[in-house]
């Protein structure tokens, strides 16, 4: 029986035309869907020619309107409620990642997670708790959920790039420094980029930095032995 929470969404195959050597998962924000972030794939295809891009729709309909999806509810903004919602969605996302990698004969070392806003919350939460480190995490305009539990729960330390606009009216810019400090305290290599005057968005500079960051991360783990 298929799970009612099995994720699906748009994808883009490797620009090289061959089998994927890497997998980039794009996690959209609250009230959006996978059709939003799959738009990043054409920008990164040249620098990541052997990467397949998957942009799954979050598992739940958005509570704020008839369209869009959410990874978890924002109806109650209490930290413990958001953490519980993130944990529930993390189990769904992890199952999706495991299946996507196994189907392609890839490992976590061949995987990059990219998130925007609520998608960044999911990317960070999941990546830090997977048994094996993914190649990279890129988070735009997001925050770190479960920071107080991270010391007890962290299992891997992938390199992380966080990009945030200092004019963000949705997720406060101060969350960038808070997340970076918590990650560095647990030995995670973190790179941050402040985009001056940028609201809750991704700009061209952020796109460029994200693609370069992922490309370097994949190159760094290229000698890894792959699953046959």
Residue 214: name the closest of 156, 149, 160, 146 by CA. 160
Can you spell out the DSSP letters for 148-178?
GGHHHH------EEEEEETT-SSS-THHHHH
- Distance, CA of 67 to CA of 175 (rounded, Å): 28
Q: Are 141 and 200 in contact (CB under 8 A)?
A: yes
| Farthest CA pair distance, the chain | 49
> Where are the alpha helices (H) located in 4-142, listed in sequence order?
34-37, 41-44, 79-104, 118-129
- For residue 32, list its beta bridge partners: 69
- How much of the chain is helix, strand and coil, in % rounded to 5? 40, 20, 45
Residues labelled as active-site residues: 117, 168, 200
């Amino acid at each position: 029986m298929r799970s009612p929470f099995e994720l699906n969404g748009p994808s883009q195959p490797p620009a090289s035309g061959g089998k994927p050597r890497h997998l980039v998962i794009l996690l959209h924000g609250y009230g959006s869907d996978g059709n939003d972030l799959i738009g990043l794939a054409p920008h990164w295809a040249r620098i990541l020619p052997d990467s397949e891009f998957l942009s799954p729709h979050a598992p739940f309909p958005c509570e704020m309107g008839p369209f869009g999806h959410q990874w978890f509810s924002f109806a109650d903004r209490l930290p413990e409620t958001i953490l519980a919602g993130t944990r529930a969605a993390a189990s769904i996302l992890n199952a999706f990642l495991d299946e996507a990698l196994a189907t392609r004969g890839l490992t976590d070392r061949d995987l990059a997670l990219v998130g925007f806003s609520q998608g960044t919350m999911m990317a960070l939460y999941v990546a830090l708790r997977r048994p094996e480190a993914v190649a990279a995490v890129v988070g735009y305009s997001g925050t770190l959920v479960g920071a107080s539990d991270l010391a007890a729960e962290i299992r891997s330390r992938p390199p992380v790039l966080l990009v945030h606009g200092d004019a963000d009216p949705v997720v406060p810019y101060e969350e960038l420094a808070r997340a970076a400090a918590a990650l560095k305290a647990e030995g995670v290599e973190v790179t941050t980029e402040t985009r001056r005057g940028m609201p809750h968005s991704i700009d061209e500079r952020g796109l460029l930095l994200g693609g370069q960051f992922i490309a370097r991360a994949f190159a760094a783990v290229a000698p890894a032995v792959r699953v046959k």
